[in-house]
Chain A
Amino acid sequence: MAAVEVKNISKIYDGNTKVVDNVNFEIKDKEFVVLVGPSGCGKSTTLRMIAGLEEITEGEIYIAGELINNIAPSKRDIAMVFQNYALYPHMTVFENMAFGLKIKKTSKADIIERVHEAANILEIEQLLNRKPKALSGGQKQRVALGRAIVRKPKVFLFDEPLSNLDAKLRGQMRIEISKLHKKLGVTMIYVTHDQTEAMTMGDKIVVMKDGVVQQIDEPIKLYKNPKNKFVAGFIGSPTMNFFTGKLNVENNGFRFTCANNEFTIFIPNNRAETVNINNTDSLTIGVRPEDIIINSSDSASIKANVDLIETLGSESLYHLNIAGQKFIVKSTVHLDKNITNDVKVSFNSKNIHLFINESAI
């Protein structure tokens, strides 16, 4: 059992710069948890505190029920994969993978067996005698994974391991790591700034901003029910469209009027029933790009100018604006890229998110 419990941890540099602020989360045994957020949000620092590479200013971290605050990194039974692979350049792949075991004074036969076992899992047996400089980025990352596997740790830690790879390889390695998680059945904590990686790999996602946890949830719940505007904007690609305006009561629902009074959206009662009508000044609505219908024949559709059309193959991204209010629409409908006319759009009001003062309602 290797559950990880992070209790009220904070990291303060030079007595006043708080980069991690009272972070709490629990990771169940064998769970794959992704810490995600923009640069400088404290996700890597949190991971490094779990690894023992950064001192914990406040709070406690438990691995398998044991308090590890004052335990050396090597005694925490963890393995870490770094963004830049961190392979020892003067050692062969075999020596890189065997280094930790040699330090632990594992028997030679055992080392050979474990290295070959890991190399077999990762299909890098033919690379064992090569030096890191003779490997491609993807191969280096596999070796880094292999170095982690041979140690048979309780918890795997990944610090943006795919950031240095090109898009195609990143996609492949994402699948490899997910498969590896299933195969090994161990706890994994994965740090990334890429929301696609977070969504596709994590059993659970911890979204962080400015050192503070914004929301912890399963990927789909995070996508459908973001707790605040930040999470709503961070998760999902292209990002959610936001419109500020006012909400007024109407029969069977509410009507949202955009700040520039250029358009209104009717929100039926079942969606807006939780809104406190007294707090409706300066309200923001969030609409995912796929919840805006292009070329709509709806009577309530609104005219929008086309700024740009990006054709992705199976779908297209429409960069539109209504009187300067910019937004993106994702649709399987393909219009001519050189279209100059206005298009009509309507909003799927069932999936509209409402935010007051950055928080969801």
Chain B
Amino acid sequence: MTNRKSKKILLNLLLILIAVVTLAPFLWMISASFMHDGHASTYPPSFLPDKFTLTQYTKLFTKLDIATNIVNSFILSISVTGISLFLNSMAAYAFTKFRFKGKEKLFTILLSSMIIPSQVTMLPLFLMLKEMGVINTYFAIIIPGLANIFGIFLIRQYAQAIPDSLFEAAKIDGASDFQIYSKIFLPIIKPILVTLALFTFMGTWNDFLWPLITLTDQSMYTLPVAMSNMMSEHSKDPELMMAGSVLTILPIIIVFLIMQKQYIKGLMMGSVKE
């Protein structure tokens, strides 16, 4: 019994240690963002600010105009998430509930495109968007993110568990295909939509390489691109960098906390008998 107890204590200590190691950089990032210039790089390093200040945040908004980058990131992340959810769910609806020739083959072809690394498609995609004249506009980010096979696949897998009779009942009730999609299909797949929304929002918000390639004007920069720019210009201001980092991850944390319950429901779907 004592042996079992001590094992439990050891395990908990180990878990606490891992949690501290994981959380420490994040906590220090938040702490450093409230420090005065130069305080973060003192030796020995201090974990807490000697005097709490919002100077770094003020600097970000006044001198560096980070508000524009935040707005850019929000516009792009919300647009890509919203539009791609709509299009992915429509495609998944068709792939799940419509009967048409070559359905499975077409889906396999689309699915196989997942094995192509995104870096390989960057150059041809850039050239296509250049032809379209949308480089250095929001469309350069939105258009490639309109639909993706991962999203379609995720929704389709979830939707396959919905019995056909639900849609047939709606059909007999007089609902059109779009009404079945909007009034029956979408509400039922809500948990997986939330999961996908979180993936897409985080993916677009954190995306660095593609916005760096396609957005040339500084006023169009998203937060990660602006942060990278800041790194080269203000490498000696770690407190400022940390304040920028806090602003970058804050929306993600807020979105996750809001959607957490539905997100876990989506991930757990099918794993346990309800």
Contact = CB atoms under 8 A, between A and B. Distances in A.
Nearest to B171: A73
7 contacts: A74-B172, A80-B169, A86-B169, A88-B188, A90-B187, A99-B170, A100-B172
B117 interface: no
Interface residues of B, number: 17
Give the 6 A-B CB pairs with smallest separation, nearest first: A100-B173, A74-B174, A86-B165, A86-B169, A90-B187, A82-B165
Interface string A76-94: 0011101110101110000
A80 B184 contact: no
B175 A103 contact: yes
Given A84-B163, A89-B188, A90-B187, A99 B173 contact: yes
B174 A100 contact: yes
Interface of B: 163, 165-166, 168-175, 179, 183-184, 187-188, 190
Given A100-B172, A103-B179, 16 more contacts: A51-B168, A53-B171, A73-B168, A73-B172, A74-B171, A74-B172, A74-B175, A82-B169, A86-B169, A88-B170, A90-B188, A90-B190, A99-B175, A99-B183, A100-B174, A103-B175
Interface in A98-128: 99-100, 103-104
Nearest to A88: B184
A103 B188 contact: no
A73 B165 CA distance: 13
Interface of A: 51-53, 73-74, 78-80, 82-84, 86, 88-90, 99-100, 103-104, 147, 151
Nearest to A133: B274
B219 to A, nearest CB: 43
A51 B173 contact: no
Contacts of A104: 174
Say what secondary structure dominates the interface of chain B.
Answer: helix
A47 B179 CA distance: 25
Contacts of B183: 99
B114 to A, nearest CB: 30
B169 A74 contact: no
Contacts of A73: 168, 171-172
A103 B171 CA distance: 10
A73 B258 CA distance: 41
B173 A86 contact: no
A87 B184 CA distance: 10
A12 to B, nearest CB: 15
A99 B170 CA distance: 8
Contacts of A99: 170, 173, 175, 183
Contacts of A88: 166, 169-170, 184, 188
B171 A86 contact: no
A296 to B, nearest CB: 51
Contacts of A84: 163, 165
B174 A53 contact: no
Contact of A86 (B166, B175, B179, B187): B166
Contacts of A86: 163, 165-166, 168-169
A89 to B, nearest CB: 6
A78 B172 contact: yes
- Give the one of B165, B179, B184, B187 with max A CB within 10 A: B165
Contacts of A83: 165
Contacts of A151: 173
A104 B174 CA distance: 7
Nearest to B186: A90
Contacts of B169: 80, 82, 86, 88, 147
A345 to B, nearest CB: 48
Nearest to A85: B165
Contacts of A103: 173-175, 179
- Give the one of A52, A53, A104 with max B CB within 10 A: A53
A154 B169 CA distance: 16
A51 B163 contact: no
A89 B165 CA distance: 12
B111 to A, nearest CB: 24
Contacts of B165: 82-84, 86
- Give the one of B166, B173, B179 with max A CB within 10 A: B173
B66 to A, nearest CB: 41
Given A82-B168, A89-B188, A103-B179, A74 B163 contact: no
A90 to B, nearest CB: 4
Contacts of A80: 168-169, 172
A342 to B, nearest CB: 50
Contacts of B173: 74, 99-100, 103, 147, 151
A294 B63 CA distance: 104
